[in-house]
């Protein structure tokens, strides 16, 4: 063993290679055991264990033969100077010492292969975890925060952004290599532009779980909002959503008719997919209808491109949901995170939230100051009794600001609107505007009843909900 080590470390490069390989290999095994036992967890442990240390492990292995080559070259130069030429090593398996050295080399090689394989597997597994995707703080903090509050918080990022199959895995890692460079040198745009144009088609990701032919029937949706009056009066809107879909084109209707079997819709839109110039509908019978907007095919402007419609054309924020300030406050009131008994609770918390500026800590301090000042002036005598509720409300509004507003990434209210519906952005009306028409004058209808029926709108205690026992 001493001779093996001596042969491998005749110069500084070989010695360095042995040292790096040995230290990193031991650390990989130790940290892997620590992670397996649950002594320590987190994305950085995985990154260090399965990405950083294996790099140094392989680097050390590479330095060992480089050191040997350098030593051999030095010996040849010595021979050219008149010294004895280096002889090729003779491997005599009849010698016990030679056999012992080969056994040791073989055993160490097997250990090295196991370590590299373990590191490679662990590296892939680590890169597949949401914590790894969200570890680029300044860039991914907004998206990662929104992801953890989303309906898909228990679905791994890679299930949607990559999906199954080797080709998309390789493509994603090549893209990720550039992302590492852009993050390292601050080359990334602020905010991150949407939509993601190289995202895998939804039919290969979303539809692994959400089966379009099973989107059948209607669904009751109740939206609860609050007024700006002193009591923050609760008001409800009830919609009967015609989810639609179905197993056959003949029975498909409603919202998911757009992705029914045999139906294909293409459209020509700008880079943000907000302006649509042309819609092309191919029906199950093979006939094609083309609907052109009133401004013509050139309406989307520069960067326009054709796209086959799928889930994310309406559900454009299925996971990374950035809510409006109004929706955030209404939801907090619904869930009791803001005390509705505070006078003008909705009006004042919303006002403080929209007026907040700056970094999260600075904004939270401003929100607290504004709410405490308002309620102290409103009723100085009774302020002490409600101070705790006001402070709790201020803390909650500060947290809400931290969810949706990220000044360093230039993300504010409305930066990332949803196309689901037509409240925050044109959404459905990008096509259903009565102006997209065929050559013979048939237009895409704007009739809201195609998708939903309004059962109640901003009503206190709607009768329909009582009748339904809601």
DSSP 113: H
Whole-angstrom CA distances from 350 to 117, 187, 396, 399, 414 are: 54, 35, 12, 13, 15
What residues does each domain of the chain span?
A: 2-127, 131-188, 212-319+418-467, 325-409
Using the predicted structure, report yes or no on whether residue 86 has a pLDDT greater than 60: no
Cα separation of 11 and 67, whole Å? Answer: 6
State pLDDT tens for residues 439-456: 999 999 999 888 899 999
Nearest alpha-carbon partner for 226 in 338, 387, 322, 150: 338
Look at residue 97 in the predicted model and tell me its pLDDT. 83
Q: Specify the higher pLDDT residue, 39 or 255.
A: 255
Assess contact for 339 and 333: CB atoms under 8 A.
Answer: no
Using the predicted structure, report yes or no on whether residue 85 has a pLDDT greater than 60: no
Lowest mean pLDDT among 156-170, 217-231, 322-336, 376-390: 156-170
Average model confidence (pLDDT) across the chain: 86
Nearest alpha-carbon partner for 368 in 397, 345, 340: 397
Q: What is the mean pLDDT of residues 344-357?
A: 97
Using the predicted structure, report yes or no on whether residue 330 has a pLDDT greater than 60: yes
Look at residue 129 in the predicted model and tell me its pLDDT. 82
Using the predicted structure, report yes or no on whether residue 348 has a pLDDT greater than 80: yes
* Burial label, 345 (beta-carbon count in 10 A; 0-12, 13-18, 19+): buried
pTM for the predicted model, two decimal places: 0.78
Using the predicted structure, report yes or no on whether residue 2 has a pLDDT greater than 80: no
Helix 345-355, helix 325-334: angle, nearest 10: 140
Question: Which among 33-37, 86-90, 367-371 has the top mean pLDDT?
Answer: 367-371
Using the predicted structure, report yes or no on whether residue 189 has a pLDDT greater than 60: yes
Complete DSSP assignment for 330-399: HHHHHTTSS-TTSTTHHHHHHHHHHH--SSHHHHHHHHHHHHHHHHHHH-TTTHHHHHHHHHHHHHHHHH
Q: Specify the higher pLDDT residue, 366 or 139.
A: 366
Cα separation of 8 and 47, whole Å? Answer: 30
**Which residues, including other chains, have CB under 8 Å from residue 194's CB and lie 6 or more apart?**
272, 316, 416
* Burial label, 115 (beta-carbon count in 10 A; 0-12, 13-18, 19+): buried
Q: What is the mean pLDDT of residues 354-376?
A: 97
Question: How many CA atoms lie less than 13 Å away from 334 in the CB half-sphere?
Answer: 13
Q: How many CB atoms lie within 10 A of CB 248?
A: 11
Using the predicted structure, report yes or no on whether residue 38 has a pLDDT greater than 70: no
Task: Place 389 in a pLDDT band, splitting at 50, 70 and 90.
Answer: very high
**Which residues, including other chains, have CB under 8 Å from residue 35's CB and lie 6 or more apart?**
41, 45, 46, 49
**Which residues, including other chains, have CB under 8 Å from residue 461's CB and lie 6 or more apart?**
236
Phi, psi of 252 (to 5 degrees): -75, 140
Look at residue 341 in the predicted model and tell me its pLDDT. 95
State pLDDT tens for residues 416-430: 999 998 888 899 999
Residue 212 has which token pair? 């379009």
Look at residue 339 in the predicted model and tell me its pLDDT. 97
Residue 65 has which token pair? 């033969």
Look at residue 88 in the predicted model and tell me its pLDDT. 53
Cα separation of 25 and 111, whole Å? Answer: 9
Q: What is the mean pLDDT of residues 72-79?
A: 74
Look at residue 370 in the predicted model and tell me its pLDDT. 97
State pLDDT tens for residues 238-291: 999 998 876 666 667 788 888 888 889 999 999 899 999 999 999 888 899 999
High-pLDDT (> 90) share of the chain, %: 47
∠ CA 382-383-385 to the nearest 5 degrees? 75
Residue 6 has which token pair? 């001596």
Q: What is the mean pLDDT of residues 95-102?
A: 83
Look at residue 110 in the predicted model and tell me its pLDDT. 80
Look at residue 10 in the predicted model and tell me its pLDDT. 63
High-pLDDT (> 70) share of the chain, %: 91
Q: Specify the higher pLDDT residue, 136 or 103.
A: 103
Q: What is the mean pLDDT of residues 412-417?
A: 95
């Amino acid at each position: 063993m001493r001779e093996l080590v001596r042969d491998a470390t005749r110069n500084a490069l070989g010695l360095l290679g042995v040292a790096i390989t040995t230290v990193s290999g031991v650390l990989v095994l130790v940290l892997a055991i620590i992670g397996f036992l649950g002594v320590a967890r987190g994305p950085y442990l995985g990154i260090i264990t399965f990405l950083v240390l294996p790099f140094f492990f392989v680097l050390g292995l590479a330095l060992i033969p480089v050191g040997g080559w350098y030593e051999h070259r030095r010996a040849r130069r010595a021979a050219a100077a008149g010294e004895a030429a280096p002889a090729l090593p003779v491997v005599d398996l009849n010698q016990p010492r030679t056999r012992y050295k080969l056994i040791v080399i073989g055993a160490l090689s097997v250990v090295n292969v196991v370590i590299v394989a373990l590191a490679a597997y662990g590296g892939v597994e680590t890169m597949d975890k949401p914590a790894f995707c969200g570890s680029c703080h300044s860039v991914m903090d907004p998206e990662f925060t929104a992801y953890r509050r989303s309906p898909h918080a228990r679905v791994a990022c890679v299930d949607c952004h990559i999906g199954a199959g080797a080709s998309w895995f390789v493509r994603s890692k090549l893209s990720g290599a550039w992302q590492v460079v852009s993050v390292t040198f601050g080359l990334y745009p602020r905010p991150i532009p949407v939509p993601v144009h190289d995202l895998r088609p939804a039919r290969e990701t979303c539809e692994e779980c959400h089966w379009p032919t099973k989107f059948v029937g209607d669904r009751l949706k109740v939206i609860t909002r609050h007024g700006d009056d002193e009591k923050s009066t609760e008001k409800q809107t009830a919609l009967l959503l015609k989810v639609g879909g179905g197993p056959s084109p003949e029975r498909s209707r409603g919202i998911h008719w757009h992705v029914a079997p045999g139906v294909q819709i293409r459209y020509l839109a700008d880079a943000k997919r907000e302006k649509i110039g042309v819609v092309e509908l191919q029906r199950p019978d093979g006939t094609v209808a083309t609907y052109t907007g009133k401004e013509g095919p050139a309406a989307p402007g520069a960067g326009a491109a054709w796209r086959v419609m799928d889930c994310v054309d309406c559900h454009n924020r299925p996971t990374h949901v950035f809510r409006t300030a109004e929706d955030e406050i209404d939801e907090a009131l619904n869930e009791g995170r803001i005390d509705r008994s505070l006078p003008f609770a909705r009006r004042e918390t919303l006002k403080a939230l929209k007026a907040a500026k700056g970094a999260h800590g600075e904004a939270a301090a401003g929100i607290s100051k504004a709410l405490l000042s308002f309620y102290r002036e409103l009723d100085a005598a009774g302020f002490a009794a409600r101070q705790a509720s006001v402070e709790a409300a201020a803390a909650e509004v500060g947290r809400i600001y931290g969810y949706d507003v990220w000044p360093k990434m230039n993300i504010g209210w409305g930066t990332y609107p949803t196309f689901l519906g037509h409240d925050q952005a044109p959404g459905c009306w990008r096509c259903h505007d009565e102006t997209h028409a065929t050559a013979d004058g048939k237009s895409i209808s704007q009739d809201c009843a195609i998708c939903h029926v309004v059962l109640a709108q901003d009503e206190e205690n709607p009768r329909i909900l009582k009748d339904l026992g809601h």
